[in-house]
Amino acid sequence: MDTIFLETSSFIGVWVVLAVLVIVVLRGAIKFVPQNTAYVVERFGKYYKTMEAGLNFIVPFIDRIGYTRTLKEQAYDVPSQSAITRDNISLVVDGVLYIKVLDPYKACYGVDDYVYSVTQLAQTTMRSEVGKMELDKTFEERESLNTAIVSAINEAAQPWGVQVLRYEIKDIDPPRSVLDAMERQMKAEREKRAVILESEGARQSDINVAEGQKQARVLAAEAEKSEQILQAEGEAQAIIAVAGAQAEALEIVGTRAITEEGQKAIQLELAEKAIKAKQAIAKESSVVLLPDSGTGAANVVAEAMTIIDTLNKSKA
């Protein structure tokens, strides 16, 4: 019995060992690669294959995962460095690189450390591009500067299996003396714009005042013209009315003068006017008027009646 028990225990122990070995072998052979990640497999120290996302198999104890490369876009800071512009101004510039691995094989075997290599290349390229520009252009054309740096880096980094998607300059720090000069320049520019705007405002105000005065004079002239026209029309109508009244009065007087009562009224009125005329002459003149039969009131009335009779006969 003891012998059988020992044989059974040995048999079970062998199967347990085999099971453990199988599990270890399967665990080493089966590899689950995460999304946007690549495993570079080496066999006997030499590149064998690249495993992409999903379920993959390798030969345990023969194959091994030499490198793990992420295929996601990665951001790396570019350390601050000095650069000299074309007009000999020293600047301190730093930036950010956005890198993506396109070929894991080249990223592992084409360069020792692709991040360090690309960062150094970005620094040297940035210094070269800044040296082609003047100080003012580095601030105004930052976008074109970023594009030029990306293009130069990608051209040099093709053997490394990586691509620089973007390069962004974070800060450009010129010397303090240059900053003070730029501040004075901007202040002068703002004062210049303020003076120009003020003068434009004064000019527009003068134009508006002149336009208002012009319109006021035009309106006043039109009002005066209308007033003169209305006054002239009123005077004409008054003259016409007076003339009509005088004509009507003369017509009435002429009609009445033909009658006997009219003749007597005319004689009486002429006698009164003659007497008033002599009285006025006597008051205003130093000449003494002596009575004369030829100049008496009766003679004057007689002469006037003779004239009236002659006129009446000529009309008849």
pLDDT for res 100: 92
Q: Round the average pLDDT of the chain to a whole number and report it.
A: 79
Rg for the chain, CA atoms, rounded: 64
The Cα 253–Cα 260 span in angstroms is 13
Q: What is the pLDDT of residue 2?
A: 52
User: What pTM, to 2 d.p., does this model score?
Assistant: 0.52
d(CA 262, CA 267): 9
Percentage of the chain exceeding pLDDT 90:
9
b/e burial code for range 247-280 (CB count within 10 A of at least 16 → b): eeeeeeeeeeeeeeeebeebbeebeeebeeeeee
For 83-107, what is each residue's pLDDT tens digit? 888 888 888 888 899 999 999 999 9
Dihedral sign computed on CA atoms, order 211, 212, 215, 216: negative
Work out the pLDDT band at 250, boundaries 50, 70, 90: low
Identify the weakest region by mean pLDDT among 57-66, 117-126, 297-306. Answer: 297-306
Section 115-128 average pLDDT: 89
Lowest mean pLDDT among 14-23, 50-59, 164-173: 14-23
Sequence letter at residue 124: T
Other beta carbons within 10 angstroms of residue 74's beta carbon come to 14
pLDDT in tens, 192-208: 888 888 888 888 888 88
Q: Per residue in 219-237, pLDDT tens?
A: 888 888 888 888 888 888 8
For 70, residues 6+ apart whose C-beta sits below 8 A from its C-beta are 36, 37, 38, 101
pLDDT of residue 232: 84
Pairwise pLDDT comparison (244 vs 254), residue with the higher score: 244
pLDDT reading at 290 higher than 50: no
